[in-house]
Amino acid sequence: MRAVVQRVSSAHVTVAGRVVAQIGRGLLVSLGVERSDGPADVTYLVRRILGLRIFEDADGKMNLSVGEIEGAVLVVSQFTLCGDARRGRRPSFAAAAAPEMALPLYNSVVEGIRESGVGVATGEFRAMMDLVSVNSGPVTLLLDSEKRI
């Protein structure tokens, strides 16, 4: 499971011109589910996302988590994160999980964040979405449950 985590001042996602989710200060998480993923990958990513201390404290140091600043998380499915572009010009998405496998794992990540008490919003799974965000810092991190990055 792969995630791109961005610290944002705000973010929203639209589908067919309609805003389906939005957050203020918090984290934008683009999530890709691979065929080899399972519950352990969900647990790992939820723990890492919620534990990231990337918000500034009173001294201006990145020392606070999204929960500590009472921020929110916007989770958007993005199977292209599982793409392999090492050869040729067209990426291979062979490692991406099929939708019927990816959706329950995606929902488990969302539910894990929600259970922590942090507000969570989502895009629409399998929809063509437009995502608008204001990356604060900018701060962007890559997480991989296989620990490849």
User: What's the CATH number where 73 sits?
Assistant: 3.50.80.10
Provide the pLDDT for residue 59. Answer: 97
Tens of pLDDT along 22-59? 999 999 999 999 999 999 999 999 999 999 999 999 99
**149 in a domain, yes or no?**
no
Tens of pLDDT along 70-109? 999 999 999 999 999 999 899 999 999 999 999 999 999 9
Provide the pLDDT for residue 149. Answer: 61
| Buried-exposed string 57-84: b where 16+ CB fall within 10 A, e elsewhere | eeeeeeebbbbebebbbbbbbbbebbbe
**80 in a domain, yes or no?**
yes
**126 in a domain, yes or no?**
yes
Confidence band for 148, pLDDT divided at 50, 70 and 90: low
Q: Which range marks the domain in which residue 133 is found?
A: 2-143
Tell me the C-alpha distance between 129 and 145, whole Å: 25
**148 in a domain, yes or no?**
no
Domain count, the chain: 1
Confidence band for 146, pLDDT divided at 50, 70 and 90: confident
This prediction has a pTM of: 0.95
Residues taking part in catalysis: 78-80
Residue 118 has pLDDT above 80, yes or no: yes
Residue 7 · residue 139 · CB < 8 Å: yes
Provide the pLDDT for residue 71. Answer: 98
**40 in a domain, yes or no?**
yes
